[in-house]
Amino acid sequence: MKEIGEEKIGEQNGDHEVESEEKRRGKKIEVDEDRLPSRAMAIHEHIRQDGEKELERDAMALLWSAIAAGLSMGASLLAKGIFHVHLADVPGGFLLENLGYTFGFVIVIMARQQLFTENTVTAVLPVMHSPTSGNAVLLLRLWSVVLLGNLIGTGVAAWAFEYMPIFDEATRDAFVKIGMDVMKNTPAEMFANAIISGWIIATMVWMFPSAGSAKIVVIILMTWLIALADTTHIVVGSVEVLYLVFSGTLHWSHFLWPFALPTLAGNICGGTFIFALLSHAQIRNDMSNKRKAELKAREDNEKSAKKMD
């Protein structure tokens, strides 16, 4: 019975297994910097390893983690709204108010919850490394589940902020102002701003392997920059815009256009088609040289074995 159970589990896991050269050889991804051609390649391989783990996770586990992340992102609107009320007449209040934007990211990333824009980088590297149809399907599966979960979570958070007796009128007005500031952008501006935020998030993810204990500082600084630049982000922005929908300020169709679709496209372009492609391109030669060195070492071993025979 035990053998049959283990076989079934193996078959289930195989349905979501990333295709890669290491898997075919029964090896693990090498992340030791001393054994790789460059520091950049060590970081790339570390992130690719994390990406493979994410691609192979169970769909329901991904969904619940993504819903939790959407709820946690409500902390960004919460903190920013409270700061807006209490720092309105304080010199430099704009800087401190936008610091509130970082709260949701700190919670989500430190708690290892599933955030869509983070996965546009982490999960795409295994696909770039081995661009098979199976890997592409796993990537689309991951993105779809995580995005759905994030939107569910942000919707619940926005609904709670509006309908639960938690905040005073001044704070609710601040939430409306924050949301309306997002909606001042045209679709083209939503898209362009989202490219920048997607690129910054991707840069942040690329810095994590080297950050060590300073990871939380990296999160705060990079996401604070997103807020100060007044860019758009599909998950945080969803809390802000859905609050307007639930409060009756906007019709729900305005959430899809001009906000969600251009912002989503911009985040994907900034995080994947710009940063991830460039980051992967810079280590392609290192990867090629590594394979050549491994092939040469294998040939030398084979020659040595023949001489011994």
Q: What is residue 33's three-state secondary structure?
A: helix
Q: What is residue 282's three-state secondary structure?
A: helix
Q: Could you report how far apart the first and last alpha carbons of the chain are, in Å? A: 46
CB 227 within 8 A of CB 84: no
pLDDT confidence tier of residue 2, bands split at 50, 70 and 90: very low
**7: which residues sit within 8 A by CB, 6+ positions away?**
none
Question: Could you tell me the domains of the chain?
Answer: 29-164+174-298 (1.20.1080.10)
Examine the pLDDT at 290 and tell me if it is beyond 60.
Answer: no
d(CA 244, CA 22): 48
Average pLDDT (42-52) is 84
Average pLDDT (62-88) is 96
d(CA 120, CA 100): 24
Instruction: For 299-309, give one letter per residue: b (16+ CB within 10 A) or e.
Output: eeeeeeeeeee
Q: Between 8 and 80, name the one with better pLDDT.
A: 80
- The pLDDT tens digits of the residues spanning 191-250 come to 999 999 999 998 999 899 889 899 999 999 999 999 999 999 999 999 999 999 999 999
pLDDT at 12: 44
Taken as a whole, the chain contains a residue count of 309
- The pLDDT tens digits of the residues spanning 110-124 come to 999 999 988 777 888
CB 71 within 8 A of CB 153: yes
pLDDT at 5: 45
State the residue for tokens 């590297």: 125
CB 192 within 8 A of CB 107: no
Q: Between 290 and 195, name the one with better pLDDT.
A: 195
> According to DSSP H, which parts of 184-283 are helical?
187-211, 215-228, 234-246, 253-254, 261-268, 277-282
